[in-house]
Amino acid sequence: MKLSVLIPFRRADAALRQQLVRLERELLPQHVPCELVLVAEGPGGHLPHWLFAATSEEVGPKRQVVRLRRPQGPAAAVAAAILAARGELLVLVAPGAAYPPSLVEELLNHLVRADLVWARRRRRGWRRLGAALRAAPSRLVLGPLVRDPECLLWAARAEVFQGLEQALAFVPVLPWWVAAQGYRVTQVTISPQGPQRYRVPVPWPWQLLAARTLLRRSEPVQWERVASPAANTQALHHPDPSTERNKAA
């Protein structure tokens, strides 16, 4: 089965570059078909060349770069990553060094007993209290299915996201939306290596109660694949053979 690792990001910085290198090194020994789906949240701006170039061209994960056509927020970036993925197994990882690559295989192992595995960050002290307060609205309205909805680390089977393009408003409550479709959802506790700097805002109770109105007014996510600059350069240096034949005639 093909694996797609999804990474939405706001800035293509050094932390993202190092994360991609570490992910490729971790995925290479598994000898499974896999790809990295990188989604730029901003529609404009320059994307660096290293974003398109994999560590190894012969073996290893292929890279697919996607960006939003207009600003729609981090929830749209997550939805675009899901829609652009070509694998049967999906793993979403927040950009940066918060989650080590070894957690990818750990989450995939839990898919034996569930269709969506959501990570829960281990916290202590006042950070645990703050996280509980932020998650209280969703738990009161939707139930204690997932205790850390802000955690952008999960693994799922691709079929659980059928119809997501029309349900963009429900991306902030993705595990509850998947469970409502009849799929099995579970969570696993993990230990992050640092703070998560990219997150999807969790809606408040009045937004959840107006979910039907949000769904009617929300537009489908608008995204596009970005071609590699190297491919564009090759196209300029290697014209279409049919065009050359027409000129010769």
Q: Enter the DSSP assignment of 241.
A: H
- The residue count for the chain: 249
Q: Which amino acid is present at 8?
A: P
CB 167 within 8 A of CB 160: no
Range of the domain at 140: 3-248
Regarding predicted confidence, which is higher, 29 or 118?
Answer: 118
Both tokens of residue 16?
């993202």
- pLDDT, tens digit, for every residue of 65-112? 999 998 888 989 999 999 999 999 999 999 999 999 999 989 999 999
Per the structure, the count of domains in the chain is 1
Tokens 């204690």 locate to 144
At 114 the pLDDT is 95
Strand order in the sheet with 153-157: 185-190, 116-121, 153-157, 89-93, 3-9, 34-40, 62-68, 223-225
**Residue-by-residue DSSP string for 85-107:** --SSEEEEE-SSSSS-THHHHHH
CATH number of the domain encompassing residue 85? 3.90.550.10
At 229 the pLDDT is 77
At 236 the pLDDT is 39
**How many other CB atoms are found less than 10 A from the CB of residue 136?**
12
At 45 the pLDDT is 77
